[in-house]
Amino acid sequence: VNSEKFLKEIKRLKPDLIVVGSWGELFKDEILNTIPCVNFHPALLPKNRGANPYFWVIYQNQSVTGLTVHFMDKKFDRGDIIAQVAITIDENETGTTLKNKTCALAKVMIAEVLDLFDKGQIQPIVQNEEFATYERQLTFRETIINLTKSKTDVDRHLRALTPWAKPVVKIAHRYVEFLNYDFMEVDENTLNKKPYDVIEHNSKYFILKGSDFLIKIYK
């Protein structure tokens, strides 16, 4: 975005406004100081700044997230807020369904923001740093499923990862990546088994003991 080619194209177009979504680069002052730039961030800023809020809000068991339109400045997700709308996180929400809901809302909000901009009616609000949180990029650590946690926690973790990364679980001394899985009930034969114990396995799947559940993961 800060290449000479991009800057020349911006100067040629002479836009009234630049609208950004799902972008991972900071704009240089040459653009920010001459053209208003707004970003659509899928969270209720100043909470959940940074990377992939879709994952983090589900993983952190938040009940509400949202979409924030804000002016861009020299730091990610810290510019003055133009508009915000809350989104309820359903109990079976996945990263996919949450992104779809957020994108549908963005289609409505973009028209409203452009109308406010055209009428000169934007009244930006400074973000309150007291409530700011920042989320990092997903790493391998976030993909590891902890079978000592409750079924509720494991289920939420798996839903949060969808579709951003494949979950992995440690079996013996190696990590096994999987995508499809089923939860199963503990019975009298598996009640006293420990988390990570292999209950059954073949060429197609593993069945592993969790804290209060069994999970069948498909290879």
Helices (H), the chain: 4-13, 29-32, 53-59, 95-119, 140-143, 151-161
Whether the per-residue pLDDT at 22 is higher than 90: the answer is: no
Helices (H), 120-146: 140-143
- What pLDDT, in 10s, does the model give residues 60-106? 999 999 999 999 998 999 999 999 999 999 999 999 999 999 999 99
> Picking from 4-13, 44-53, 92-101, which range would have the lowest pLDDT averaged per residue?
4-13
What value does the mean pLDDT take over residues 151-177? 96
Burial label for 73, CB within 10 Å (0-12, 13-18, 19+), is middle
Whether the per-residue pLDDT at 176 is higher than 90: the answer is: yes
Q: Which residues contact 175 (CB under 8 A, 6 or more apart)?
A: 144, 168, 169
Q: What is the mean pLDDT of the chain?
A: 95
Q: Give 28's pLDDT tier (boundaries 50, 70, 90).
A: confident
Altogether, the residues listed in the chain come to a count of 219
* pLDDT reported for residue 90: 97
* pLDDT reported for residue 59: 98
Q: Give 54's pLDDT tier (boundaries 50, 70, 90).
A: very high
Whether the per-residue pLDDT at 26 is higher than 90: the answer is: no
Whether the per-residue pLDDT at 1 is higher than 90: the answer is: no
What value does the mean pLDDT take over residues 176-192? 95
What value does the mean pLDDT take over residues 14-34? 89
For the record, the structure tokens of 206 come out as: 């593993």
Whether the per-residue pLDDT at 25 is higher than 90: the answer is: no
Give the span between the Cα atoms of 12 and 14, in whole angstroms: 6
Instruction: Read off the pTM.
Output: 0.94
Of all residues in the chain, what percent carry a pLDDT higher than 70? 100
Which H/E stretch holds residue 176?
strand 174-177
- What pLDDT, in 10s, does the model give residues 192-209? 999 999 999 999 999 999
For the record, the structure tokens of 164 come out as: 């951003």
* pLDDT reported for residue 34: 87
What value does the mean pLDDT take over residues 39-51? 97
More confident residue, 62 or 28: 62
Give the span between the Cα atoms of 80 and 71, in whole angstroms: 5
Nearest to 44 by CA among 94, 84, 96, 89: 84
Give the span between the Cα atoms of 61 and 19, in whole angstroms: 30
What is the helix, strand, coil percentage profile of the chain, to 5?
Answer: 30, 25, 45
